[in-house]
Chains A and B, each alone.
Chain A
Amino acid sequence: MMSHAVRRKATNFIMFTLTAICALLAISVLFFILGYLVWQGGRSLNWDFFTKLPTPVGETGGGFANAILGSAKLLGLASLIGIPIGFIGGVYLAEFGGSTWTFVVRYMTDLLNGVPSIVMGIFAYALIVIPMKHFSTFAGGAALGIMMIPIAVRTTEEFLRAVPNNLREGALALGATKWKAVVTVVIPASMRGIITGIMLGVARVAGETAPLLFTAFSNRFWSPGLNQPTASLPVMIYTYAISPYEDWHQQAWAGGLVLLALVLITNIAARIILHRQTHTAQG
């Protein structure tokens, strides 16, 4: 009888330890990635990296300046395409939708969210690159923008639904029409959450490489306007990482460090803001 109880307690302790090890292993991956990138990337990260163009093979030095600007342009364009469609679509789902059409829209959004990023690249290629007959910043931005739509829809809908109903009723009771209540009361009440959610969406597509490979393509020089192929940070990291040259590898590490830092800082900031909001809402 005693031994049975002891065995159960022992199992409890062993499984506690084992599952804790599982969790720690997962977390240690994050610290390994961070540590390794800081160690490798920190050595080759310098001012030139942010200000200079890539150098030709065999010439050391140079930087990713064009790729950083290219990524910024791609993300700006993606936001212009993805955020309005996603945001207003989300408002429809939360505030104006009927039952059938809402279900269809939500289902399609989920479907779009599950599309592999490389397939999104093919889509943008067929839709934009083939008619234009050349790679362009515009095609890359469109591919990323479409990837941003489902994220924006989801967060917008989620945060609008979290707004308490008595706010809506209060506005309507004061004589506001429905759209006025939505625009002046409901949306402002959830704006902080929606913005942080969309920030997370931007951070997610910022690291996407696959949809850019044959839409924005790559470029070793500056890319003026939106009509030419452009370099981007993730694609540069990819090409430099699989190249056979040691100093290119070093540049890839530096690029990886910059990209990871941007993504993680955005994520941490967004989550801190969200955390604070839920706490003030409760308290």
Chain B
Amino acid sequence: MQPEGTITATLPPRGRAIVKRFRAGDQVAYLVTFIFASAIILITGLLFIELYRSSALARQQFGWHFLSARIWDPVALQFGALPFIYGTLVTSFLALILGVPLGIGASIFLAELAPPSISDGLAFLIELLAAVPSVIYGLLAIFTLVPLVRDYVAPFLESVLGFLPLFQGPSYGVSLLAAGAVLAIMILPFIISISREVLLAVPREQREASLALGATRWETAWRVVVPYARTGIIGSIFLALARALGETMAVTMVIGNDPKINASLFAPGYSIAAVIANEFSEATSDMYLSALIELGLVLFCITIIVNAGARLLILGITRKASAHS
């Protein structure tokens, strides 16, 4: 291992210093990791730029009107995003209405009321549920949930709440209602596991003080722990909303894929992600493709905003918790 020493010996002092610094390797290691970390920024930036650039044709043609137009007719090159935005929002909010009470109830049980030995096992199962791929939710939903909605849920809702326009009209099973229900099931594990973590981060003294004052377990959970963790729980709901907005496969398989705005939840609809999934590889003209990419840009912006909100809220609560401990 002689050569290394002889090379440095022949270099002038300044060169020797540089070689020494690089031999030590800290600069090199810093540079390499820095480049890879910067690559992440580059990729994210590129993602936005590509979406923006590739949708230029549609953006110039339709302008902001793209968001408010109701006609989607690829043959006549008429592209309006409103039916898809409507479908995406309706199914996502339906998912929240169905999923949030269940999710928060379950997370309170797991974090506060259940004995720890049971709680850990159940939380593990919830994590597994979160890992189930969305195409599998879709597969099951087509063959179980859709017939269930068509034959039982829709007729029942119509007989009870039929005076509302939301619950009128024929039911084919594939519908906004079915899509909302699948989404509710899919976001459930996210709400539960994040809310549970947020609840567990609440300082112990809060519970002990409340219990010492004679409150029951439920009163402690509901009036002390939950209010303390409120922002974090809302954050978990936002995160779930972002998931629901961007969810593609399960929704595509049960929403019915019909670009119309119907008041009835029993009617088929269409979501932004679903129309991209269905029509992208068949888009024949540049304008068609560009309009689909603009839909992607819209979806990207919506989910980014919702996600950022969620992160801020969750960050707030964990910081508060760590400040206390």
Chains A and B form a bound pair: yes
Q: Which residues of A contact B (CB under 8 A)?
A: 8-9, 11-12, 15-16, 18-23, 25-27, 29-30, 32-33, 36-37, 40, 84-85, 88-89, 91-93, 95-97, 101, 104-105, 108-112, 114-123, 125-127, 146, 149-150, 153, 177-180, 182-183, 200, 203-204, 206-210, 213-214, 217, 234, 237-238, 241-242, 249, 252-253, 256, 259-260, 263-264, 267-268, 271
Q: Which residues of B contact A179 (CB under 8 A)?
A: 25-26, 28-30
Knowing A26-B103, A114-B242, A263-B132, say if A122 contacts B280 (CB, 8 Å): yes
A204 to B279 alpha-carbon distance, docked (Å): 25
Most buried by A among B25, B44, B144, B276: B44
A203 to B131 alpha-carbon distance, docked (Å): 8
| CB <8 Å contact, B41 and A209 | no
Knowing A209-B134, A237-B136, say if A149 contacts B40 (CB, 8 Å): yes
Within the complex, the shortest CB–CB distance from A29 to chain B, in Å, comes to 6
Counting contact residues on chain B (CB < 8 A from A), the size range is: 35 or more
Within the complex, the shortest CB–CB distance from A74 to chain B, in Å, comes to 14
Q: Which residues of A contact B138 (CB under 8 A)?
A: 238, 241
Q: Which residues of A contact B144 (CB under 8 A)?
A: 36
Q: 4 shortest A-B CB distances, which residue pairs? A: A207-B133, A116-B246, A22-B105, A179-B29
Knowing A20-B109, A91-B33, say if A118 contacts B273 (CB, 8 Å): yes
| CB <8 Å contact, A238 and B36 | no
Scan B99-142; emit 1 where CB is below 8 A from any A CB, else 0: 00111011011100110000000101111110111111111101
Knowing A92-B34, A115-B300, say if A271 contacts B124 (CB, 8 Å): yes
A-B contact pairs, 17 of them (CB 8 A): A9-B216, A20-B109, A20-B114, A22-B105, A23-B192, A92-B37, A105-B37, A108-B44, A114-B303, A119-B47, A119-B299, A122-B50, A180-B25, A208-B133, A209-B249, A241-B138, A260-B132
Within the complex, the shortest CB–CB distance from B53 to chain A, in Å, comes to 8
Scan B31-54; emit 1 where CB is below 8 A from any A CB, else 0: 011101111110111110011011
| CB <8 Å contact, A29 and B129 | yes
| CB <8 Å contact, B133 and A127 | no
